[in-house]
Chains A and B, each alone.
Chain A
Amino acid sequence: MGAAAAAGLSPREARAAEPVLRVRVDRNTVEVGRPVTVEVEVKSDDRGRAQEPGDPIMPDLPGLKVAFRSSGMSRSMTYRNGLMSSETTRTFVYNLTPLQPGVYPLKIGVNDGGKVVLAKEVVTLTAEGATMSGAGSQQAQAPAAEGASPSSERLSEEVFAQIVTNKKRAYVGEAITAQWEVWQRVTANIEVDMLPVFKDFYAVELKAGEALEQFVGGRQWRVHPAVRRILFPQKSGKLRIGGGTLTVSPSSGFGLFSRPRGRAFTVRGEPVEVEILPLPARNQPAGFSANNVGSYVLSVEVDRQDLEQGEALTATFTIAGDGNLKVFDPGEWPTPTGMRSYPPKESFEQRVRDGKIYGVRKFEVLYVADTAGTIVFPAKQIDFFEPESAKYRVSESASIEVNVRPRAADPSSAGGGVVPPEADLSRPEADALAEQDQAGELSPVLGAAALERGHEQVSWLTTQRWKTGMLTVPGVGVAALSVAALAKRMRPSAQTIQARRHRSQARELLAKARAGVDGGVEFEATLGALVQAAAVRKAGDEAVGRERSRLLDTLRSQGCAEADVSMVGETLDACDAARYGAAAREPAERARLLRGVESLLRSWEVL
């Protein structure tokens, strides 16, 4: 007991716990050639540890390429029961690319002080598809790609672009898969300036796919499939596919921490030439369409084979195969004797698999049985050129018999009569129209013997007249307001009106005085009033109601000439004297006096 206690309490060498590994993959099943991201997390306790565990030991499996991408570290500290402990977590990210199909067990370990510690769970990776041949060949997206392996000259560059086609020689209308790849081995921002030009090709856009890691020429490359198309050459000869242009700005760091490194430069992809052969003239069917290249099968089915006269059936012609089915020319669809047909309703589906384009095109033709009896749908043929065998082929649908029963209710159909033209509709249309016409038939035509004339009312208010009128209104308004403003501006002021009135009064008095020159009647009184009024006006408001001497002084103070002032005084005195009979004057004298006054008034601008 005591020994046991002693053994239990005896001091031991402190030993760190083993690191714990956790392996995560973004997917467990992948196509051959596609990379899988593997994250390895190594968690270790720092207590009693002399050194940290090493980097993960990745499995060295044949056919599996391993590429390191990045790593990170985090540390957490815990204070518990007075003891401080810390834990370090290191994360490593790898890209694994299977080069051949199979199941890859990912036994990943880490070296911890000379001892390899493995992850508790072994993750497996399953690769599907065909084996990759060569390091530079492309994945299943573009099978047997020609020109996929870049030249050594290209591999010496940091970034380059190349066109990869699956064929270098094809017939007109034959499908060619083309992929524009951008290869880079340095960190850089890449912008596409100009996409490759696919002139003389009918192109179908495909999904470009993901970037791949490739180890070519002793270097790690990242390959971006930027553009991927299926091309159908439209003419024969050596056709060229343009190479496209890129602007490359080298940088260092990732994301927010990236910084430019060096000057930007332009990369031009090399154009590729494809030899396109014309379709062989030998054995070519008459009227053959150059769009019918590929491999197709035609089938036909009808929705019913027993129907009543006047009823409709739908025949569905289906063309399926690989090739440019969208532009395939099927020719005319057959119309059996005793039936009417309508333009087909068309549907088209297309999908791409393994770089080949497949399609199904359906033509639904509506037939209306006009006559009763057995009607045979003749077999329909389609001609096409098969590039693989370089031969013209024919696909033929089966002929179908349809039984058309006579319409019992319609006496006109007893002898196999034709449905009247007014019933020129398919069954569903006719049924629906019958319901509709019960609700409201067409109103009848007028049926007049002669056409009424002369009451067609052509409206006076044309668009042009209306616009003119609408523009005239603001014009009139502006003109009226302008006239009002002008009139207000040009109207004489109160002073001018008063001056004009005074001048008029002065003229009247002067005329009266002139009339009295010869006879002397009211001459002096008129003249005196005229001179008095002129002098008061000249002297201003101060002189109103003042005695004569003050009036004359005011005139003087206002700068009037002494001669004028004297004349005013003398004239007024003379007039007063004459009025009171102190001095009678001769006409000549009155005329002289008048002239003097006239001269004075003119100089004062009273007249």
Chain B
Amino acid sequence: MTRRPPCAVTGMRRRMLAVVLCGPVLGIWSTVAGADVVDSAYKSAGEAAMVGHWSEAVTQYERARSLLASPSAELEYDLGTAYAHTNELGPAVFHLRSALRLAGNDRVREGARRNLSVATRRVSLRAEVSGARVSMYEGWKSRAERLLRSQAVGWMSLLAGAYLAGLAIVRVLAPGVLRRLRSLLLTLGVICACLFLSLGVTRTIALGADPEAVVAGERVPVREGAGHHHATAFHVEGGSVVHLKESAPGWRRVRLDDGLEGWISERSLLL
């Protein structure tokens, strides 16, 4: 049996010890540093916003957003508001919608709803001035789709299904219970079956609906085909919400709320 030289063993142990000791320290240090950078950018953005330097605020908010690992409703709200002040309505609508979707605290929700309303009114106004089309998807169908996609509806359909599954298991394992509470359990079963089927089908349809995107820029040309050589069918104002139907390299076929369709360069869309 051969033994390693004592010095080699000592060197390896030292290295392992160094790794074991320094690893967590470095990890903690790097996490703290990342947080500082994000907070620093966020703070700078807030200070710039307070004195009305909205372009600088946008730059800093965007920096904080790029450094942040997970999306933040607060940051999306602030960024969307800053964009609304600089009259870049496309990004403003996009980030304020994100803030609402992420559902932060009440203050964020209330502010995002209000600022989104102002931004969409400005989009409509700008479209009227420029003669471009505007699309907001604010009809009952869009609202119904949003409702069906919500977590509450998802849980409701799942719970109804769970009740039905439980009922089936009880029927097998303890049929006596079913016999005793027959009318009550069956009434609940019918209600749950209706909920399960109706919510299941409609939510599946809503989840499979075309994804949405927000148009960036001003008076964006919508073309008849995927490419700049195709004729411009019409223009759509930045901040409009469109549904994505089809994609080609660098281009997306979009549908407006009034049913018009055309191709937009991907660079003009916020997905």
Contact = CB atoms under 8 A, between A and B. Distances in A.
Nearest to A345: B131
A342 B126 CA distance: 12
Contacts of B114: 440, 442-443
A557 interface: no
Contacts of A484: 171-172
Contacts of B125: 429, 432-433, 436
Given A422-B85, A461-B158, A445 B43 contact: no
Contacts of B87: 422, 424-425
Contact of A428 (B38, B54, B129, B200): B129
B84 A442 contact: yes
B207 A445 contact: no
Interface in A404-435: 421-422, 424-426, 428-429, 432-433
A453 B39 CA distance: 10
B271 to A, nearest CB: 17
Nearest to B35: A453
A461 B118 contact: no
A448 B168 contact: no
A235 to B, nearest CB: 15
Interface in B186-237: 196, 200, 203-204, 207, 218-219
A487 B171 CA distance: 12
A484 B168 CA distance: 9
A470 interface: yes
A422 B103 CA distance: 29
B155 A461 contact: yes
A359 to B, nearest CB: 15
A451 B103 contact: no
A297 B50 CA distance: 52
Contacts of A334: none
Contacts of A456: 70-73, 102
A444 B52 CA distance: 11
A472 B78 CA distance: 42
A134 interface: no
Interface residues of A, number: 48
Interface stretch (A298-306, A475-483, A561-569): A475-483
Given A445-B57, A451-B74, A456-B72, A426 B122 contact: no
A436 B121 contact: yes
Interface size class of B (residues with CB under 8 A): 35 or more
Given A445-B49, A451-B75, A481-B168, A459 B151 contact: yes
Contacts of A451: 38-39, 42, 64, 68, 72, 74-75
A445 B82 contact: yes
Nearest to A422: B85
A443 B54 contact: no
Contacts of A445: 45-46, 49, 57, 77-78, 81-82
Contacts of A461: 151, 154-155, 158
A346 to B, nearest CB: 9
Interface in B22-71: 35, 38-39, 42-43, 45-46, 49-50, 52, 54-55, 57, 64, 68, 70-71
Contact of A442 (B46, B64, B81, B110): B81
Contacts of A437: 118
B142 interface: no
Interface in A447-481: 447-453, 456-459, 461, 463, 466-467, 469-470, 472-474, 476-477, 480-481
Contacts of B118: 436-437, 440-442
A466 B42 contact: no
Interface string A194-231: 00000000000000000000000000000000000000
A343 interface: yes
Interface in A212-270: none
B229 to A, nearest CB: 11
B223 to A, nearest CB: 14
A6 interface: no
Nearest to B81: A445
B200 A450 contact: no
A474 B72 CA distance: 38
Contacts of B77: 445-446
Contacts of A446: 46, 74, 77-78, 107-108, 111
Contacts of B204: 467, 470
Interface in B77-111: 77-78, 81-82, 84-87, 102-103, 107-108, 110-111
Interface stretch (B159-167, B243-251, B262-270): B159-167
B115 interface: yes
Contacts of B110: 443
Contact of A448 (B74, B81, B207, B219): B74
A484 to B, nearest CB: 5
B169 interface: yes
B39 A449 contact: yes
Contacts of A345: 130-131
Interface string B138-165: 0000000000000100110110011011
Interface string A329-359: 0000000000000110100000000000000
Nearest to A447: B46
B115 A442 contact: yes
Given A422-B54, A445-B45, A456-B71, 20 more contacts: A422-B87, A429-B125, A433-B122, A433-B125, A442-B115, A442-B118, A445-B77, A445-B82, A449-B43, A450-B43, A451-B38, A452-B72, A459-B151, A466-B157, A470-B204, A472-B161, A473-B164, A476-B169, A480-B168, A484-B171
13 contacts: A421-B86, A422-B52, A426-B129, A436-B118, A442-B84, A445-B78, A446-B46, A446-B77, A446-B78, A450-B42, A453-B35, A477-B164, A484-B172
Interface of B: 35, 38-39, 42-43, 45-46, 49-50, 52, 54-55, 57, 64, 68, 70-75, 77-78, 81-82, 84-87, 102-103, 107-108, 110-111, 114-115, 117-118, 121-122, 125-126, 129-131, 151, 154-155, 157-158, 161-162, 164-165, 168-169, 171-172, 196, 200, 203-204, 207, 218-219
6 pairs of A and B residues whose beta carbons are closest in the complex: A473-B161, A443-B111, A480-B168, A476-B165, A450-B39, A477-B168
